[in-house]
Structure 1
Amino acid sequence: MLTVGDKLPALKVPVQQGTAALPAGETLDLGQTNGRWKIIFYWPKDFTFVCPTEIEGYAQLKGDFADRDADLIGASTDTDFVHFAWRKSDERLEKADFPWIADNKKELAEALGIIAKDEGVAFRATFIVDPDNIIQHVTVNGLNVGRNPQETLRILDALQTDELCPCNWTQGEEVLRPAA
């Protein structure tokens, strides 16, 4: 599995976004940073039970991530048409206005090393990637346990201080300053 300090694979991946029109071959070039951070989070499958709660949780924080120069990107190993159908079927997901990687060939998930071997789908993995496309944080949950998007935001805040941040640190609190 790729981890902190590794470079994010510079793949061009298929994406689906919104419900205004059927997917038409849209892609996202993960090699491009435009000086921004990336928050990439994978869920195992569309049309399941835990996954929409995570997607909704991240969607509620999209503006907070954007305020920190971070792009929110969802992903699963489903197709763009499955993503589209799921979004159309659930108003919570329809409001999740950020790109969803349609990694049905599992190229990115395999490159990241996050495939659950027995199930053949991606683990619940979250990657925080800096503007140089270097992975700065990784968390991976099993298939049955959802994540805390607020914790992803907290970690992004800490990473962006470029300082030593103590346990449970939150934005606005003092960072550690060791005596010289």
Structure 2
Amino acid sequence: MLTIGAKFPAFDLQAVVSANPATAFSRVDNDSAQGKWKVFFFWPKDFTFVCPTEIAAFGKLNGEFADRDTVVYGVSTDSEYVHLAWRQNHPDLKDLPFAMVSDIKRELSSALGILHPEEGVCLRATFVVDPGNIIRFVSVNDLSVGRNPQEVLRVLDALQTDELCPCNWQKGDAVLKAA
């Protein structure tokens, strides 16, 4: 699995950006959010139970991420058509403010090393990537355990200080000074 300090892999994937079939589809690639921080969070499968709770939680925080010059991408190995159908049929997903990216050929998830060995679907992996496309944070949960998007936001805040941040540091708290 790729980890801290590695360059985020190149990608060019189809994404769903709205629930309207006429405007739903868009390509996203390495240059789509050039010069910005990025959060990529991966989920195992559409039309499941834990995944929409996480996706909706990231959606509710999207404005907070945008305030930090950060673009959020949600990714799974489902096709863009499955993403669209799920978005149209799940009330918590209809108005998502970020792209649902399709890694149907498993190229990005394979390059990151986050495919479940038996199931062949993405683990619940989260990557925070800096404007230079360097991975600065990685978290991976078991398939059955949802993640905490608020913690991802807290870590992003800490990374953006470019300072030493103690345990449980929150935006606005004092940072550590090396002696």
State the TM-score bracket (shorter-chain normalisation): over 0.9
Aligned: 1:50 with 2:50: yes
Deviations 1:92-133 (A, max 9, x none): 111212111111110100000000010010000000000000
The TM-score, its normalising length taken from structure 1, stands at: 0.96
Aligned: 1:157 with 2:176: no
For 1:70, the aligned partner's letter is T
Structure 1: 4+ residue segments shifted above 3 A = 22-25
Q: Which residue of structure 2 lines up, in the alignment, with residue 20 of structure 1? A: 20
Q: CA deviation at 1:25?
A: 5.6
Equivalent runs, 1:11-90 vs 2, <5 Å: 11-21=11-21, 26-90=26-90
5+ residue gaps, structure 1, are none
Tell me whether 86-95 or 17-26 shows the greater mean CA deviation: 17-26
5+ residue gaps, structure 2, are none
Q: CA deviation at 1:91?
A: 1.4
Counterpart Cα distance in 2 of 1:40 and 1:175:
26
The TM-score, its normalising length taken from structure 2, stands at: 0.96
Superposition RMSD on alpha carbons, in Å?
A: 1.3
Counterpart Cα distance in 2 of 1:33 and 1:117:
31
Contact kept? 1:77, 1:121, Cα under 8 Å: yes
Q: Secondary structure in 1 aligned to 2:177?
A: coil
Q: 1:25 to 1:64 in 2, by over 3 A?
A: closer
Contact kept? 1:65, 1:71, Cα under 8 Å: yes
Counterpart Cα distance in 2 of 1:120 and 1:35:
32
For 1:56, the aligned partner's letter is A
Among all aligned residue pairs of Structure 1 and Structure 2, give the percentage whose two residues are the same amino acid: 54
Counterpart Cα distance in 1 of 2:136 and 2:34:
17
Equivalent runs, 1:53-132 vs 2, <5 Å: 53-132=53-132
Aligned: 1:5 with 2:8: no
Contact kept? 1:16, 1:80, Cα under 8 Å: yes
For 1:63, the aligned partner's letter is G
Deviations 1:54-86 (A, max 9, x none): 001000000000000000100000000000000
Q: CA deviation at 1:24?
A: 7.0
Q: Which residue of structure 2 lines up, in the alignment, with residue 133 of structure 1? A: 133
